[in-house]
Amino acid sequence: MALTQEQLSRITKELKRVYEGLLEDIRNEQDASGNTQIAELLGRVPADSGDISVADALVDLNVELIDRHVQGLRDVEAARQRLAEGNFGICADCETNIGFERMLAYPTARRCLPCQETREKMFAHKATPRL
Ligand SMILES: [Zn+2]
């Protein structure tokens, strides 16, 4: 892996910040929608463990308002999984190292910039290209 421990630790912190921001957004949105079920669910689950089950439960609740945030949580979870497996920062398409600057800016990115651009051209009709 090309990233140093210090770089990985910065990215880990950034992932945590993104994740907590998403949780906060979900809490705010569910407050606005008056759905206490989600608040209870999030309130008793620690932010750093059981993350996948939280996302699954949220999807089960099928609250359209928070769907995009749940997708964001899943992206963070996938990035954490790659960190745990030691293949974080490696492009899913060409398997080169994505590079620290891009990973810090987009910690959930799965592809290097050239591959991402190629993909966005291929799927140009999609409104929101995935990182
Ligand atoms: Zn690539």
Using the mean position of ligand 1's atoms as its centre, give its distance from the Cα of residue 42 in Å. 36
User: What are the domain boundaries of the chain?
Assistant: 5-122
CA 94–ligand 1 middle distance (angstroms): 4
Q: What angle do CA 9, 128, 90 make, to 5 degrees?
A: 35
- Residue 42 tokens read as 């999030």
pTM: 0.67
Q: Which residues does residue 90 pair with via DSSP β-bridges, in sequence order?
A: 97
**pLDDT band with cut points at 50, 70 and 90 for residue 57:** low
Q: Do 45 and 74 meet the contact criterion of CB atoms below 8 Å apart?
A: no
What is the arithmetic mean of pLDDT over 8-14? Answer: 96
Diameter of the chain by CA atoms? 46
Cα torsion for 91, 94, 99, 103, to the nearest 10°? -20
| pLDDT above 90: residue 109 | yes
To the nearest whole number, what is the mean pLDDT of the chain? Answer: 81
The CATH number given to 5-122 is 1.20.120
| The residue to which tokens 């309130």 are assigned | 43
124 — pLDDT class (breaks 50, 70, 90) = confident
The secondary structure of residue 3, as a DSSP letter, is S
Reported confidence tier of residue 68, pLDDT bands at 50, 70, 90? confident
Distance 41 CA to ligand 1 centre (A): 38
> Using one digit for the tens of pLDDT, what is the confidence trace for 19-56?
999 999 888 876 666 555 555 666 655 555 555 566 66
Neighbouring residues of the ion ligand 1, judged by CB less than 5 Å: 91, 93-94, 112, 115
Q: In the structure, what pLDDT confidence band is assigned to residue 123 with cuts at 50, 70 and 90?
A: confident
Residues 70 and 55: beta-carbon distance below 8 Å? yes
Question: Which of 99, 94, 82 lies closest to 119 in space, CA to CA?
Answer: 94
Strand partners, 97: 90
Instruction: State residue 68 phi and psi, 5-degree precision.
Output: -70, -30
Distance 114 CA to ligand 1 centre (A): 6
